[in-house]
Amino acid sequence: MNRTDKQIKDILILLSTAILLIGACTEFFHVASGTGEAVGDFSLTWLILFSAFVIFSFALFVVTVFWQRGTLSAVSMRLVSYRNGMWFLLRWIFAILILAFPVWFLQYTKWGIVFQGFFIRSLIWIVVVLIVAFLASKEDTLFGWKEVLGAFVLTASAFSIAVSLQGVTDYPFSLGWSEGNRLWDYSTLFGRSLYKYPADQNIYVLLDRGRLWVGGLPFLIPGLTIEMARLWVGLTLVVPYFLIGIAAFRSLDRSNRHWFFIVLWIFLFLKQGPIHIPLVLCAALTILIWGRSLWISIPLVILAGYFAQTSRYTWMFAPGIWIGMLELAGASLRNGKLVGSQWTRAIALGIAGVFGGYLLPKILPLLERSVSIENVGEQIANSGFTAEGIAGEVSRQPLLWYRLFPNSTYGSGILAGLLIAVAPLLIILFWLAITKKWVLNIWQKLALIGSLLAFLIVGLVASTKIGGGGDLHNMDMFLIGLAFTAVIAWYNGGRESILNPNQLPVWMKIVVIASLVIPAVVPWRQMRSHQYAEQASALVTLTDAPDEKSLDLLPSDEKVNRALEKVQGEVAVAKDVGEVLFLDQRQLLTFGYITDVPLVPEYEKKVLMNEALSANAEYFQSFYEDLAARRFSLIVSERLFTPIKDSSFEFGEENNAWVTWVANPILCFYEEKITVKEIGIQLLVPKSGQVDCSDRLP
C-alpha cells in the first residue's frame, strides 16, 4: 500500500469511528432517557448504563487513534502472541460464541426490540467482526484481509439465517397476510386426511406445483405441529440456497479452501430476492451439471427445464439459458478462441434446457391422451402455450410501471433497489475485466450480457405487475444469472485478485466489503423478538414508541388462548347451522385447533385476491350468489375494511381491488359478530332480512 492509500485509509477509519460512536451514544441516550426521575429523566440504573457506554465509546475512539499512529504496536504484538499461543480449538469456541452473540442478543432477547438504532447495531456488528477476525488470523497479523472478509460473511450469513427462522413459533394464528393459509396450501398435497372433505374431489390451491411439493413434505410426518411446519419453512429459506454454492464448488476445484465462504456469499446474494425455492433447486441442478459428461448433463438439464416450467411458466427458458451461459463464458480459451467442442456442448445443453422447459410440458399431456403423431404439431400450436399466450397472461392484470421508481409500496423502487443489491458485484466484475484479471473473448461477453439482459427485462416487467413490486423476488432469474457470472469470474482469475490485498486498491476493498454487507442490511435491521407482550409497557418507555400496538408484538398467551376459545366456540355453534367458510386462518383446521368441521375449499383468501386483481367478474358471480343465499353460517376472515386508497399508500391498487371485489360485497351480505383486534381476526354472520346489494357489487 502506498503512502497516499494509507493516509486515505487512516482518515476514513477515524472519521467513520467518530460518526459511529457519536451516533451510538445518541441512540443510547434516547433509550435511557425517560426511564425515571432519579437524575433528570434517567432512572439510576439507566444513568449508570449510559455513562458506562459513553466511557466505553470514548476509550474505543482513543484506542483507534493510538492504533492508527502505531503507538500500540507493542500491545498489538503482545495480543498476537497471546492469540497464537492459544489452543486452536479454544480460539474457535470463542469465535463461535462471539459470532452467536448478536443473533442471541438482538433476536432472542427483548433488547433487540429496544436497540433498533442504526449506529448501535453497526457498532455491535463491527466489534464482533473484528474479534472474530482477530481470533481467526494467523502468524504476526492482528487482522488478516481474508479473515476480515470471512468474519463479515459469517456474521452476515448468521443474520440472514436468523431472520429466516424468525417465524418459528407455536402461535396458532397467522403471522402475516397469507402465512397461515399458505401452511394450509402445503398440507393439501400429503395431508388431505386432516380435513373432512370427499377424497375423490380435488382441492384447488393458488400455488405452483414445485412449491407445493417442497412445502408439503413435512405433512408426511404424523402429528405435525404448526411450530414444526414453520421450522421446515424457515429451513427451506436457507438450505436450498446453499445447494447452489455447493454444486458450483463440488469438484471444479477440490483444493479451494475458501469454498465454504463463497457458498455463504452466494446464499447472501440470492437472498436479496428472495427467490422461490423451486427456481433455486433448478439453479442448483443446472450448475451441478456444468462441465460434466453430456450423457449426464442433457437429461438433467431437460429435467431442470421441465421442473422450472411446471413451477412457473416464466421460468421455462431459465435452465437452458443458464447452462449455455456457463458453458460458453466459463470455458477456457485457446489462443483467445472457443474451440468447436465447447460450442457443441453449449448449444446442445442450451437446446436440451429449452426442450425441457418449452416442448416437453406440451408433449407429455398429448402422449397421455394418445394423440396421433400427425396431430401433435397441431395440438401444440393450439395449446395456448405460445409467446402470444404468455404475453396475454402477463397483460391479464394491470402493469404498474411507477413501481420501478421510489414509491410507498417499495421505498427505493425496483430499479434503485436492484442497483443497490447488485452494484458492488457489478463493480467487481467490471474491474476484473478492465484490468485483464478476468479475460473474456467477444462471444463469452455476448453470452453473459445477452443472457443477463434478457433476464433483466423479464424481471422488470414482472415486477410491475399488480400484486408485485414489493421486493426483488421477480428479479430471480437475473440474480441467479449474476451469481453464476460471479462463479465464472472467481474460477478465472477473480479468486487470486480478491483474496490478495496487495492487488486491491483501497476503494476496491471497500467495494468487496460492501458486497458482503449490503445483502445483510435488511436482515440485520429485521432481527428482533416479537415476544415479551407482558413487558410491553416497559418497552414502550425504552423505545419511545407511541403505544404498545406499534411494537408489533405477538399477543400474550392469555389473549391468544382467549381468542382461540372464542373462535372454537363460535365455529362449534355455526357448524350445526350451515357451512363455515375459513376465508382466512385455515391453518386452524390444518393443525387441529378446530376439529370436526367440513372443509369448504372454495373462496380462499389468496384466490379471491388473485381474481380481484384480474377483475374476473365471471369468477365472482358464484361467490356473490353464495353470499346472497346465505350459504355460510359463519365466515372466518381477517378484519375487513373498505377505504379506497391511491398509489401513495402501500399496495394501494391491491387494496382497492380487494375492497371492490371482496370486502364491500361480504360486508353488504354479512355483518360482524366478533372481532378480535389483537389477533386481527373477524367472524361474520349473515344479515337478517332482505338485503339489496346491487349498488355494492362491482
What is the distance between the alpha carbons of residues 427 and 514, in angstroms, rounded to a whole number? 11
User: Cell for 414?
Assistant: 425496483
Cα 411 to Cα 119, 295, 468, 517, distances in angstroms: 21, 48, 14, 20
CB 125 within 8 A of CB 102: yes
Q: Which H or E run includes 633?
A: strand 632-638
Neighbours of 100 (CB within 10 A): 14
Residue 83's Cβ-count burial label (10 Å; 0-12, 13-18, 19+) is middle
Rg of the chain's alpha carbons, rounded to an integer? 29
Spans of the chain, pLDDT less than 50: 373, 376
Would you state the cell numbers that stand for residue 454, as one nine-digit string?
434478457
**Residue 250 DSSP SS3:** coil
Per-residue pLDDT at 336: 87
Per-residue model confidence as pLDDT tens digits over 318-340: 999 999 999 999 998 888 899 99
Check if the beta carbon of residue 116 is closer than 8 Å to that of residue 543.
Answer: yes
Q: Is there a contact between 360 and 305 (Cβ–Cβ < 8 Å)?
A: yes
State pLDDT tens for residues 154-168: 999 999 999 999 999
Cβ contact 401:469 at 8 Å? no
With b for 16 or more beta-carbon neighbours within 10 A and e for fewer, the 273-307 pattern comes to bbbbbbbbbbbbbbbbbbeeeeeebbebbbbbbbb
DSSP-based three-state secondary structure for 269? helix
Distant-in-sequence, close-in-space partners of 197: CB < 8 Å, separation ≥ 6:
203, 598, 599, 601
How many C-beta atoms lie closer than 10 Å to residue 436's C-beta? 8
**Cis bond before residue 274 (omega within 30° of 0):** yes
Q: Residue 494 and residue 437: Cα distance in Å, rounded?
A: 7
Q: How far is CA 622 from CA 207, 212, 694, in A?
A: 22, 27, 15
Q: Which amino acid is at 302?
A: I
**Is 305:353 a contact under the CB 8 Å cutoff?**
yes
H/E element, 634: strand 632-638
